Every structure is written in C-alpha cells, then in structure tokens.
C-alpha cells in the first residue's frame, strides 16, 4: 500500500470529523422537523393575528443559520464545528411594522 494513502487512511482527525459528520447529519434531520413546526406555527399565528411573531422570526433565522453552518461543515466548506461547539447563531432580525412586515 502506498505510504501516502496509508497515512491518509489512518489520520485520526479525518475519522473524528467523520464521526461529527454523522452526528451533525442526525442533528440536521431533527432540526428540519423542528423547522417545519416553526413554519406551521408562524403560519397559524399570521392567520389568526395578521402579524408575524418576532420571537419566532428570530428563532427561525437562528435555526436556519445553524442548519446552514451544519451543511458547510459536513461538506468540508467550514472547519469550525457548529453549535454546540461554537456559539449559537445570532443573526440580526429586521425591524417590523405593526402589520409584522419588514421596514417599519
């Protein structure tokens, strides 16, 4: 066996990353289900009240940012592990007017 190939196959860091890829893939699938629940809840709130819930908007942005970070990590486009190994995403949320639309 080629020495370079053997060195690549026995790299501890690569195998650890593989383990985290599996764990984050599971977390991604669970978070997808949570995102569906958030979407349904926000839709129902908008139907009932006519406005969007700002706290749900903020959580949805954070969750979608975290899902994006997971995708970057598992596709080797990011080396930093997402939350809980990094900070929970804190994206800014746009200001809403009285109707719950951006720009107010």
CB 93 within 8 Å of CB 99: no
Count of residues in the chain = 104
Q: How far apart are CA 104 and CA 83, in angstroms?
A: 32
Query: Tell me: the pLDDT tens digits for 34-90?
Result: 999 999 999 999 999 999 999 999 999 999 999 999 999 999 999 999 999 999 998
Q: For the chain, which residues make up each domain, given as ranges?
A: 23-104
Cα–Cα nearest to 68, from 78, 59, 58: 78
Q: Any residues with CB less than 8 A from the CB of 77 and at least 6 apart, and which?
A: 71
Q: Give the predicted TM-score (pTM) of the model.
A: 0.81
């Amino acid at each position: 066996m080629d020495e370079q190939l053997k060195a690549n196959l026995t790299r501890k860091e690569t195998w650890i990353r593989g383990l985290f890829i599996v764990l984050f893939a599971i977390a991604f699938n669970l978070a997808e289900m949570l995102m569906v629940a958030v979407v349904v809840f926000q839709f129902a709130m908008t139907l009932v009240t006519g406005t969007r819930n700002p706290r749900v908007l903020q959580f949805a942005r954070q969750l979608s940012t975290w899902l994006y970070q997971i995708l970057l990590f598992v596709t080797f486009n990011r080396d930093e592990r997402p939350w809980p190994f990094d900070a929970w995403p804190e994206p800014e949320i746009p200001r809403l007017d009285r109707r719950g639309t951006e720009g107010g």
